[in-house]
Every structure is written in C-alpha cells, then in structure tokens.
A = this chain, B = another copy of it.
Amino acid sequence: MQELIFDNNVASCLDRCIGVMAPQGVFVIADTNTNDLVVNRMRAESQRIAQAPAIVINSGDVNKNLESLSYVWEQLGALGASRHSLVVNVGGGMVTDLGGFAAATFKRGVPFINIPTTLLGAVDAAVGGKTGINFNGLKNEIGAFAPACAVIISTTFFPTLPEAELLSGYAEMLKHGLLAGRKECDELMRYNIADNDQSHLLKLLEESVRIKVDIVEKDPHERGLRKALNLGHTVGHAFEALALSREQPVLHGYAVAWGLVIELILSHLQLGFSSAELQRLASYVLQNYGAFHITCHDYPELLRLMRHDKKNLNPDTVNFTLLRKVGDPVLNSTATDDDIKTALDLYRDLFHI
C-alpha cells in the first residue's frame, strides 16, 4: 500500500519517511532538470538527503529508455545499493516511471519514494504503481506494477513550470472529475489555472489523486475497473501519435483533453450522455486547450492508431471507456469505424475546424 502525503513541506516529510524506514543508504534518481532545480535545493532543507548520491539521467521522454535504465542499474550497483536501501525519485513522470522500474528490479526490488515535480506527474504517473520504460518505439512497452512505498505530493515545484505543463496535468484531473461525479467536475471547472492559487490547487489535487487511488486499489493490475482511467486516452494517444508523426508534438494532457471531448461525443451517441454536459466540457477544453487540427484525410490514420493501442483487445473494433453520465463509466465499450468518424465530424463542428 502506498502512503500518500499531500504537503508543501516536502523536505521535512521526506526526512520523516526516511527516519521511519531507516534504510541502509539513500539514493536519489533525478533528471538533469530536476537535479539542478529541485534536488540541489532540497539538500539544503533535508538532513537525510544532504549527503545522498544522485543518479542523474538526461531529461525528456525520449530518454525513458533501456540505455538510461541500464545506467541507473549500474550506478545503483557501483554506489553499493542493497535491498535494504531506499531510492528517492525526484521528477516528472519520466523520472518516476524509469526510477520506479529501476528500483523495483534492482536486486529484485529496492523500496522507493516518489516526489513528483510536475502536476501531470503528481496526478498520474507517480501514483498507482505503474512503472516502466519505452522500448522498440513503443511507450511503456517494458515495465512492472510496483507501488512506491510513499508519494510526497506538493505544489511547491509548480511555479517554475510553464502554464502549458500545468494545463497538461489539469486534463488528467478533469478526467478524474468526470469519473467521480458532478460536484468534483464543477469544482474543477470553476478553478482557474492562471490564478496560481497553490493551496487551492493542492486541495483539488488531493481530491483528484484520491479518486485515482480508489480505483487503482480495487484493481491494481488493470484487469477491469482500472480501465476507467483510460477515459479520453484511446483518442488522446492517437492524437499524440499523429502530432508526433507531423513533427509537431503536443503535450500528453492536451491530447487527453481533446480525447475526452471526442469520447464524450461517442458517449452521447451511444449511451445518451447529456448533451449539455458535453457542450460544457467542449467549451472548457476549447477555451483552455484550443483545438487540435484534423481533416477527414486524417481519419484512416487515426483509426489505425486507435486499433493498435496497447489496451485494445480486438483489432476489428476499438475499445473505449465511455460515460453514461458524469460519474458513471462504462468499461469495454466498443465503437465501429463509422461511429468514430461521426464523432470526429462532430468534434470538428464543435471546435469550428
């Protein structure tokens, strides 16, 4: 079970955790950015981290690969890490995914703590036990389900993030709100990211992470219920891949935001999801995330990408998590090519493209 700590005094929380665990050696894993911006600052505030060696990998999802993993394993060995040591991952999803997998597999498992430094990392990658690396051109192709023993979640590191990064993470929070209920959704749509109200954001973040954790604890290995968290992602991943192939990559959360709109359109068409709620989300997304430009010439490629999603079981149809209403997900929904094309048409209407 993961201990979740929501607190902006990260260094003192970390010292307390390490004090309780009493490990034989602490090893920090960070990327070039978080090592400079976060770890070195944290050393001044945390007694337990002050002397801990850092294993630093190159930043960027493109480095979430076997080469970086192998480097981390080598360094853990060279620095004398044992099964009784502790790894502290400090960074966004790239660091917590790779560092978590490295820790979970070094000597068959060293305990680790995650300190997410981005909103997307805090609400998504750092919590729930999914770890891994990209391999052979595929995202998260290799990995393990391995929960951090603790995750320290704060908004401390967000002021240095570009607003687009915050919006990217916020899209996953919107997804959790849609899975949870009207009240949670309303609260999220009322908050304005640009206000930068840290204590309010931390409260919303805590609610959002708890929604995810409730689902994950019921289905840690994604055999059923956890698929609810895939809402927005079947289309989102296809948009992300299309954007990459155009050499105009988009942030993950932006793709999820657009994916949510299209999957709610499908929910409306197939399950009678409320048109008013759909309109509300669509205008929120259009206003905050803008539009992702597609034409009908992109449809065949988008359909191909959706069918090849890791979670798709049957290559003849495409699997979705849809919503009957806000707070009422329907897992293992399927849609035909025609359904999806209609939804993409309606998205273009709604977004005036």
- A-side residues, CB < 8 A to B, are 24, 66, 70, 73-74, 77, 82-84, 104-109, 130, 132, 135-136, 138, 140-145, 221-222, 310, 313
Given the known A-B contacts A66-B70, A73-B135, A136-B77, are A142 and B106 also in contact in the complex, defined by CB atoms under 8 Å?
A: yes
From B24, B107, B144, give the contact of A104 (CB < 8 A). Answer: B144
Contact A105–B138 (Cβ < 8 Å): no
Residues on B with beta carbons closer than 8 Å to the beta carbon of A310: 82-83, 107
Residues on B with beta carbons closer than 8 Å to the beta carbon of A141: 73, 77, 106-107
Contact A143–B313 (Cβ < 8 Å): no
Residues on B with beta carbons closer than 8 Å to the beta carbon of A77: 135-136, 138, 141
Residues on B with beta carbons closer than 8 Å to the beta carbon of A140: 108
Contact B74–A108 (Cβ < 8 Å): no
Q: How far is the CA of A24 from the CA of B315 in the complex (A)?
A: 12
Residues on B with beta carbons closer than 8 Å to the beta carbon of A82: 310, 313
For this chain, the copies found in one complex come to 2
Contact A144–B142 (Cβ < 8 Å): no
Q: How far is the CA of A70 from the CA of B221 in the complex (A)?
A: 23
Q: How far is the CA of A130 from the CA of B84 in the complex (A)?
A: 18
Q: How far is the CA of A135 from the CA of B58 in the complex (A)?
A: 22
Residues on B with beta carbons closer than 8 Å to the beta carbon of A130: 108
- With both beta carbons as reference points, the residue of chain B lying nearest to A135 in the complex is identified as B73
Query: Could you pull out 20 A-B pairs where Cβ atoms are within 8 angstroms?
Result: A66-B66, A73-B135, A73-B136, A74-B136, A77-B138, A82-B310, A84-B313, A104-B144, A105-B132, A105-B142, A106-B141, A107-B141, A107-B143, A107-B310, A108-B140, A108-B143, A108-B145, A109-B144, A109-B145, A144-B144
Q: How far is the CA of A135 from the CA of B106 in the complex (A)?
A: 10
Residues on B with beta carbons closer than 8 Å to the beta carbon of A24: 313
Residues on B with beta carbons closer than 8 Å to the beta carbon of A313: 24, 82, 84
Q: How far is the CA of A142 from the CA of B106 in the complex (A)?
A: 5
Contact A142–B109 (Cβ < 8 Å): no
- With both beta carbons as reference points, the residue of chain B lying nearest to A145 in the complex is identified as B108
Q: Separation in Å of the A150 CB from the closest CB of chain B?
A: 18
Q: Separation in Å of the A79 CB from the closest CB of chain B?
A: 12
Q: How far is the CA of A82 from the CA of B142 in the complex (A)?
A: 12
Q: Separation in Å of the A149 CB from the closest CB of chain B?
A: 13
Contact B144–A132 (Cβ < 8 Å): no
Residues on B with beta carbons closer than 8 Å to the beta carbon of A84: 313
3 closest A-B pairs by CB: A108-B143, A77-B136, A105-B142
- With both beta carbons as reference points, the residue of chain B lying nearest to A74 in the complex is identified as B136
- With both beta carbons as reference points, the residue of chain B lying nearest to A24 in the complex is identified as B313
